[in-house]
């Protein structure tokens, strides 16, 4: 005991500044550097109850204690037995919140007379660095807390079950300026609004006197072959059909001028979409010289005036490109989807569906055809804004068109997509599972 007093008394005097050289030294530094003292100060709780140091009976030296910080107290609370209750753990964490304290030492006679020092206040009032053991402890606790947060996130993900998430389909194009990732959602929102005012009424043929929907089907089936022979862009075909329907909706046409309307519409679409535009003489030749050059130019003038020069309309093609990306399509799915949508171009009754719905239904029908069962992902639903239920009617009609595509007189689309250039998509077995309207 005498040896213990000889060691501990100078330390206490230095901490209290009592008549010793260097008496203005701070308690934290003395305790940390004093040989034989605890390796680091003992912590006390926010309520002022000191954490009692254990004393070795043989050597009468203090055994080291880990400082109780907020993070360490939280980790201790989590390790306590369940029978102590959640309230006790919550109370311990609240008591140690944002409070780190240290004590100087026991006094000379062994009583628990502690000098409480707030570490945060100490650091603000002094420029002395935080002892290395405190930094090391804080680093370990931060790592433990990070691991605990990671485990909690894993548990939350498990609680979500197997619910399918929506993929970010534009993340791979962030460095591609042509993909306009920053604006692509706004662009397609505009397309969705514009299609409401640009799509054609599905009953306009009732106002025509000399033509009907069968003649329209013959015309478009022929134009699909012309489009294929001229090797034009896909956008040109869809815009051509749109121009024809919008013109016929506003203008009465006699039967012998219907082919002229189709040829002129393709000429206008080529001027709008193509880099190399077919000349008028080529279109006259392909129509077996049924019309003169002056007639084509006169019809061109009439059409653009009737449509008020409005050529920028969202066709099914612009939606097809976006929706195929959302469906994570490959070449086989893409070719089959375009086969479905071109079958719909010929059919007059498909005008009742909006262009975006036609595009979504074509992709949905193609997915079901290739997979053999109904499939519509959350990502596709998110980007198309159409649920699987909303696509059922249109998809069922597409399957029926697919079944009879090789029969009848209008087989232009089937012959086109039966070639190796288009992957023989037309020879795929129809998705009969979609004929059952139940989901």
pLDDT tens readout for residues 376-392 = 999 999 999 999 999 99
CA 33 to chain CA centroid, Å, is: 57
Kindly tell me if the per-residue pLDDT of 51 is higher than 50: no
pLDDT at 36: 46
The end-to-end CA distance of the chain, in Å, is 87
Q: 173-202+315-439 and 203-313: same fold?
A: yes
CATH architecture of 203-313: Orthogonal Bundle (1.10)
Q: How many of the other CB atoms lie within 10 Å of CB of 312?
A: 9
pLDDT at 89: 44
Q: Is 96 exposed, middle or buried (0-12, 13-18, 19+ CB in 10 A)?
A: buried
Residue 121 confidence class, pLDDT cut points 50, 70, 90: low
Q: How far, CA to CA in Å, does 410 sit from each of 108, 263, 290, 394, 420?
A: 109, 18, 21, 20, 20
Entry pTM: 0.63
Q: Are 166 and 95 in contact (CB under 8 A)?
A: no
Of the listed ranges 32-41, 113-122, 332-341, 413-422, the least confidently predicted one is 32-41
Residue 7 confidence class, pLDDT cut points 50, 70, 90: low
pLDDT at 132: 54
Task: Return the top range by mean pLDDT from 92-96, 299-303, 404-408, 429-433.
Answer: 299-303
Query: 221-227 long-range contacts, Cβ below 8 Å, gap at least 24?
Result: 221/346, 221/410, 221/411, 221/412, 221/413, 222/259, 222/262, 222/412, 223/262, 223/266, 224/342, 224/345, 224/346, 224/412, 224/413, 224/416, 225/412, 225/416, 226/266, 226/286, 227/266
CATH architecture of 173-202+315-439: Orthogonal Bundle (1.10)
Q: What is the mean pLDDT of the chain?
A: 76
The structural domains of the chain, with segments of one domain joined by +, span: 2-154, 173-202+315-439, 203-313
pLDDT at 137: 57
Of the listed ranges 196-205, 262-271, 369-378, 415-424, the least confidently predicted one is 196-205
Residue 70 confidence class, pLDDT cut points 50, 70, 90: low
pLDDT tens readout for residues 260-288 = 999 999 999 999 999 988 899 999 999 98
Whose CA is closest to 241, among 253, 254, 223? 223
The widest CA-to-CA distance across the chain, in whole angstroms, is 126
């Amino acid at each position: 005991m005498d040896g213990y007093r000889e060691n501990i008394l100078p330390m206490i005097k230095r901490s209290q500044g009592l008549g010793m050289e260097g008496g203005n030294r701070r308690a934290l530094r003395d305790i940390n550097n004093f040989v034989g003292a605890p390796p680091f100060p003992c912590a006390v709780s926010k309520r002022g109850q000191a954490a009692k140091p254990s004393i070795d009976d043989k050597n009468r030296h203090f055994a080291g204690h880990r400082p109780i910080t907020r993070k360490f107290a939280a980790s201790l609370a989590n390790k306590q037995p369940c029978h102590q209750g959640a309230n006790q753990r919550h109370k311990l964490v609240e008591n140690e919140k944002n409070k780190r304290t240290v004590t100087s030492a026991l006094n000379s006679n062994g009583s628990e007379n502690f000098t409480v020092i707030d570490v945060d206040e100490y650091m603000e009032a002094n420029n002395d660095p935080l002892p290395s053991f405190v930094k090391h402890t804080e680093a370990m606790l931060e790592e433990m807390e990070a691991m605990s947060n990671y485990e909690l996130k894993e548990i939350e993900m498990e609680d979500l079950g197997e619910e399918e998430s929506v993929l970010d389909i534009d993340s791979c194009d962030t460095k591609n300026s042509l993909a306009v990732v920053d604006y692509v959602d706004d662009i397609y929102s505009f397309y969705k609004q514009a299609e409401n005012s640009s799509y054609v009424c599905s009953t306009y043929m009732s106002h025509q006197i000399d033509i009907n929907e069968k003649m329209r089907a013959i015309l478009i089936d022929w134009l699909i072959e012309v489009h294929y022979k001229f090797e034009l862009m896909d956008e040109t075909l869809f815009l051509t059909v749109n121009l024809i329907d919008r013109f016929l909706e506003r203008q009465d046409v006699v039967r012998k001028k219907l082919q002229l309307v189709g040829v002129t519409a393709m000429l206008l679409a080529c001027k709008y979409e193509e880099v190399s535009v077919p000349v008028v003489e080529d279109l006259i030749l392909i129509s077996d010289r049924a019309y003169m050059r002056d007639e084509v130019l006169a019809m061109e003038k009439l059409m653009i005036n009737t449509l008020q020069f409005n050529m920028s309309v969202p066709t099914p093609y612009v939606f097809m490109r976006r929706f195929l990306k959302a469906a994570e399509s490959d070449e086989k799915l893409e070719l089959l989807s375009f086969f479905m949508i071109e079958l719909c171009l010929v059919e007059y009754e498909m005008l009742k569906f909006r262009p975006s719905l036609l595009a979504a239904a074509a992709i949905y029908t193609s997915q079901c055809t290739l997979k053999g069962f109904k499939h519509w992902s959350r990502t596709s639903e998110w980007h198309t804004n159409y649920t699987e239920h909303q696509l059922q009617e249109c998809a069922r009609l597409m399957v029926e068109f697919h079944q009879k595509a090789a029969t009848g007189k209008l087989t232009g689309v089937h012959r086109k997509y039966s070639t190796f250039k288009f992957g023989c998509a037309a020879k795929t077995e129809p998705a009969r599972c979609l004929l059952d309207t139940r989901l």
